[in-house]
Amino acid sequence: MEHKFLIDVNLPRFFSLWHSEEYIHQYELGDEWPDSIIWKYAKDHHLTIVTKDSDFSSRILMHLPPPKIIHIRLGNMKMAQFYDTLKTLWPEIIQLNKDYKLVNVFIDRIEGVM
């Protein structure tokens, strides 16, 4: 199975939610990569970037996919709460990712942007 998602370096590496062949963590590629290289890699490999970095969601608004972006905007929370929230929301996030170039994930809602 090929990777479908690139987990940005600003997100946890050892998250069981993202522990399968569908996911690759940026750390495995180069944790010092600038955003432009991450973008190109994701574009070349048709990956969705999962990130907390607003630069990617701003950039996708001016471009067509690939890549697609999942922007995690949950704010500061303890790791256990962060994980539990994402675990609960992840099926809906993945579903929206199929149809939208940007999925914004907030604590109280999930938004898809075409």
Quote the domain boundaries for residue 77. 5-113
Mean pLDDT along residues 43-72: 94
Confidence bin at 52 (pLDDT 50/70/90):
very high
Structure tokens given for 87: 């675990």
Task: Give the torsion sign (CA, 47, 114, 52, 35).
Answer: positive
Number of domains in the chain: 1
Does the pLDDT of residue 72 top 90, yes or no? yes
Q: Hey, is 5 helix, strand or coil?
A: strand
pLDDT in tens, 8-39: 998 988 888 888 999 999 988 877 889 999 99
Answer for the pair 52, 35: CB distance below 8 angstroms, yes or no. Answer: no
